[in-house]
Amino acid sequence: MIRPKGEVIKRSLPDGFSFVFFTECSDDIGSWCDICRKANMCSNPNNEEVFSKVMRSVRGIELERDLFFVVAPDGTKIATSAIIHNKEKNSGYLHMVASVPEYRNLGLAARIKEKTFELARLRFPFAKLFSITTSLPVMKLNSRLGYKPVTFSELTDDEEFWAGCQGCCNYDILLRNNRRMCLCTGMLY
């Protein structure tokens, strides 16, 4: 089912789970890094260094409004996502939906992506939203949300966005191809 642009999906989390926004404290920084590490998104043991490199370096991000977690019934933060917006380019992307393995297959990724998308549309209604991924489940979810596959040239020329790919194991492929292609599929809303 393809959703018309602008329609907000209102799907709730399973009973006992909740969304919470980031707060500027070491516990939330540690939670973000632990989720990313458990989800195999990064392996650096220095939480503050990883957080600073990935999140604080993004120009214009308002962490208390743009980064959130999913909290399990026991109070543990088990998933995260963020909205990255570039005002100058009027574009944005849903940054790294990540969840810890023991909470997968509960439908949380879809709900997280939908919530992130909803927040992006509310905060940046006219921004061009895009995603890149190698994951077939993410491509299917993006398609259900209304994203279409496109060439990388249709995404962005924002250096900051492409710098975010440096942590990917396929970054050398992206560089060798002058950012025209890599193993990811570009998707545009």
Dihedral sign from CA coordinates of 26, 28, 33, 35: positive
pLDDT at 84: 74
Would you list the DSSP string of 21-53?
E--SSHHHHHHHHHHHHHTTS---S-HHHHHII
pLDDT digits (tens, 9 = 90+) for 111-148: 888 888 888 888 778 888 888 888 888 888 889 888 89
pTM for this model (two decimals): 0.72
Residues 32-72 have pLDDT tens digits of 878 877 876 655 555 566 566 666 555 556 666 678 889 99
The amino acid sitting at 42 is C
CA 187 from chain centre, in angstroms, equals: 13
Average pLDDT over residues 96-104: 84
- What pLDDT was estimated at residue 1? 31
